[in-house]
Amino acid sequence: MSWFAGKKYKRVKCENIFELIKSPNANEQIIRLLTDSPPVIAFNKTGETNLTLSILTDEKNFHFNFIIGQEHEMEKRDGSKIKYLYEIIGDNVLKQTVKMPDGKTAYFTREFTETDSKTVKLSLSGAKLEQ
C-alpha cells in the first residue's frame, strides 16, 4: 500500500463527464463534485490495513478512516447514510464502491503509479464511463 500512501492527487482532466451528467440516474451531489473545482485527494496509511482518505476542497476538508476490505457507513450532511468499501487489487489498483440511500451504487477504480493516479473507470447505476 505504500505506492500511494502520503501522496496527494488532483484531477487534471475529465473525459466523457457530460455523458454521466446527462444520465437520468445522476446524483446532484456527484454532479457538483465532478464539475466544480476538483478537490485534492490523499490516502494515508494508519495501520496494516487501515487508511485515511482526505478530501481537501476550497470550502472544507473531509477525512474518512477505513479498513481495506470492510464495508463502512458514513453519515452525510443531510443525515442520510451511505455505505462504502475499499479494496486493493494487485499492487496498484484501489477499487471503491459507494452505496447511496436511494439504492444507486457508484464504482470508482483508481490506478496509481509513482507519479500520478488515474481513474480508469467510473460507473453509476447504469451510466458507465471508461477512459
CATH number at residue 85: 2.40.128.20
Q: What is the pLDDT of residues 36-77, one digit of tens each?
A: 777 788 888 888 889 888 888 887 888 888 899 999 998 876
How far apart are alpha carbons 124 and 99 in whole angstroms? 10
- Asked whether residue 122 is assigned to any structural domain, the reply reads yes
**Domain range for 62:** 8-126
Domain count, the chain: 1
- Asked whether residue 112 is assigned to any structural domain, the reply reads yes
- Asked whether residue 117 is assigned to any structural domain, the reply reads yes
What pTM was estimated for this model as a whole?
Answer: 0.68
- Asked whether residue 2 is assigned to any structural domain, the reply reads no
Joined together, the cell numbers standing for residue 40 give 485534492
